[in-house]
Structure 1
């Protein structure tokens, strides 16, 4: 079943206060989401959010409107929600008939199918939810840009910190969910990239109630990992990682999906004007902003910034500007955000956070790059097999 709602976030195309000489432009952006059934986890403490990502899109439309009202630019957000098992491709075709700008929350394979639709050939699609590396590598598409950091970017941020701390001996516990396995693979690749190696690894396969048994089971489970400086947790589903910290056989720091976590965004990010963004989001959504909210916000703000700078709503003109050296997005992370012209990934710093503080933000000092220090995070141009942007 599909739910279609046009958000009441439209700004008039031409206002009395618009600057003279500016042509009125109306830009409609579609939030397209494929809802998925969440697998069961050990704890039910984390709420399931119906507006994850969409709330970030709504805030960005409001932010676009703030600038647009002075330029005669109007913005509207249309929401298309596809329930599990629904016709996502059909919904995408219909949305593309109405607008060439889609911000998508869907799995990687579905993203590729949408990007390959004939109706999407001249569109600009934003991936705001899939961290899969293949979308930035050999399976990239020229009409698909990525505002959510890849798994490689998050893993590289963590490994930069581990290397800086000289935590060179690593161990890892991995869940069995596909997202867990993909993050574990990214951590292995990143460890090798920064001259480290993950030694002992174990797969988490407990089905007991860890809320009662963690203090007994986790020490036994981690006893044979040997000695290590840092224990990596690949638990992207949020299932078991919370029970590992402080229960390990050896008292060592925990990082990855739990403990010290590399993220696109967190409620504890406060510097560089971020507190103002946090406050506006909380007023809108009644909760803290999460990484997918930030990715959706960045996607729609990208369109708004490009429309403002080019005074155009033509997709080809906007795409060329977005991928050009002249584009910059103020993303409340201390540095202007730009797009990698070889695979469409948004360059961005990665905060390393605990539940109550930012510990560091990558790229860290000392990691240099001939183009941008942010290109030390994730697939650099020589590493990426993407050739669709050539």
Structure 2
């Protein structure tokens, strides 16, 4: 592996140190002969997020460019290394207003010769795109958390940088089990995302020895801004429980559950303490430098969608640096090889599961102003890697995308 390739895989320590290292290495290799021709790496970014509908709380809205800004930052990171290797990275992006528009943009980009894609869209949209993709098209899922995409509806050329519902809820389940808070009160909202999150948590509860003492759906449409202190204590009334678990993906009621429960108990799940792919409070292992660069680019904090898109584009860049090829099949082979490791500011090198294409990664457990813990925890053992204690392990999945 070249010196520059090794440099590209190191976490960035600071803007000054990074610039110094690149300058020194660039000087050292300046006298070396360049490659015969430049390598053009073109990546398509597609985003379609359905209208979430009216939200019954003052929840902070999701940025409209969530995901896109992460991909843009990663293109810049790839280009920093690429310019020394005569590699050029470009991003063609489309934030669509409908599934039809997203699929049309996908087909249009493919007609222009783009075969590497990062997609932030619902699972159904991903499936439509995969049906229209060629055998040489490589797609990174940076938005859909659905477990079905990782267990029974896998595609050979679909990889996932967004953690699945089960990865998120397994992280939470491990933490609750480790704290011995094993009796929980589960509240589930009405949306499809709420149901997906809650179903994953029910599986995690069985997996880690938790007991759901109450499993109640949220069926009200009241404005809790005025009535939370009266409604929620009655709703959460039960003999005893150690924690309240909330599955409210869009924030209809979950923001009002903390401090309004019948018993004085912690609130976790999609509100309270959350398992996430990324959050602004993650600052260890060089992450503060990534956070600062992102704020400078986007004017806001980096979120999970941004991080998933960033890791997808950085995965491509890391593979291209190793093999000096932009062919999707060659990139895919590298990503699933034993030698691939992605340095991604999470304290561990990240790799892809060869049976379903999911990126293995630690899951931060956070509240709005601080990091609580990071899963997986050492007490949960695995014969290969503890990161496979999060989400569906190989024996639990029907997917075998590498034969």
TM-score computed with the length of structure 2 as normaliser:
0.90
CA distance 1:19–1:37, shift in 2 (3 Å): farther
- Provide the rounded CA distance (Å) in 2 between the counterparts of 1:94 and 1:218: 50
CA distance 1:137–1:18, shift in 2 (3 Å): farther
Asked if 1:381 is matched to 2:394, the reply is yes
Please name the residue that 2:100 is paired with. Answer: 86
TM-superposed CA distance for 1:48, in Å, is 4.0
TM-superposed CA distance for 1:389, in Å, is 2.7
Please name the residue that 1:133 is paired with. Answer: 147
Please name the residue that 2:175 is paired with. Answer: 161
Preserved contact between residue 49 and residue 122 of structure 2 (Cα < 8 Å): no
Preserved contact between residue 71 and residue 310 of structure 2 (Cα < 8 Å): yes
Aligned with residue 381 of structure 2, among 337, 359, 368: 368
TM-superposed CA distance for 1:90, in Å, is 2.3
Preserved contact between residue 26 and residue 73 of structure 1 (Cα < 8 Å): yes
- Provide the rounded CA distance (Å) in 1 between the counterparts of 2:134 and 2:212: 42
- Provide the rounded CA distance (Å) in 1 between the counterparts of 2:244 and 2:387: 25
For structure 1, the 5+ residue unaligned runs are 1-15
SS at match of 1:71: coil
- Provide the rounded CA distance (Å) in 2 between the counterparts of 1:337 and 1:50: 28
- Provide the rounded CA distance (Å) in 2 between the counterparts of 1:159 and 1:50: 31
- Provide the rounded CA distance (Å) in 1 between the counterparts of 2:317 and 2:143: 20
Please name the residue that 2:7 is paired with. Answer: none
- Provide the rounded CA distance (Å) in 2 between the counterparts of 1:226 and 1:136: 38
C-alpha root-mean-square deviation of aligned residues, in Å?
1.4
Q: Deviations over 1:84-104 (max 9, x none)?
A: 253332221111222110100
Please name the residue that 2:17 is paired with. Answer: none
Preserved contact between residue 94 and residue 102 of structure 2 (Cα < 8 Å): no
Please name the residue that 1:52 is paired with. Answer: 66
Q: Deviations over 1:205-226 (max 9, x none)?
A: 2212111111111111111x33
- Provide the rounded CA distance (Å) in 1 between the counterparts of 2:123 and 2:191: 15
Please name the residue that 1:211 is paired with. Answer: 225
- Provide the rounded CA distance (Å) in 2 between the counterparts of 1:283 and 1:18: 34
Asked if 1:41 is matched to 2:55, the reply is yes
Asked if 1:275 is matched to 2:255, the reply is no
- Provide the rounded CA distance (Å) in 1 between the counterparts of 2:87 and 2:32: 11
Asked if 1:112 is matched to 2:139, the reply is no
Please name the residue that 2:260 is paired with. Answer: 247
Preserved contact between residue 173 and residue 204 of structure 2 (Cα < 8 Å): yes
For structure 2, the 5+ residue unaligned runs are 1-28
- Provide the rounded CA distance (Å) in 2 between the counterparts of 1:325 and 1:226: 51
Please name the residue that 1:333 is paired with. Answer: 346
Please name the residue that 2:214 is paired with. Answer: 200
Preserved contact between residue 18 and residue 69 of structure 1 (Cα < 8 Å): no
Aligned with residue 181 of structure 1, among 195, 207, 213: 195
- Provide the rounded CA distance (Å) in 2 between the counterparts of 1:112 and 1:51: 22
Aligned with residue 284 of structure 1, among 297, 300, 319: 297
- Provide the rounded CA distance (Å) in 1 between the counterparts of 2:335 and 2:225: 48
SS at match of 1:298: helix
TM-score computed with the length of structure 1 as normaliser:
0.93
Q: Deviations over 1:42-94 (max 9, x none)?
A: 12441342211000000000000111111111000101222125333222111
CA distance 1:277–1:170, shift in 2 (3 Å): same
- Provide the rounded CA distance (Å) in 1 between the counterparts of 2:397 and 2:119: 23
Asked if 1:348 is matched to 2:361, the reply is yes
Preserved contact between residue 354 and residue 400 of structure 2 (Cα < 8 Å): no
CA distance 1:267–1:19, shift in 2 (3 Å): farther
Preserved contact between residue 281 and residue 369 of structure 2 (Cα < 8 Å): yes
Please name the residue that 2:10 is paired with. Answer: none
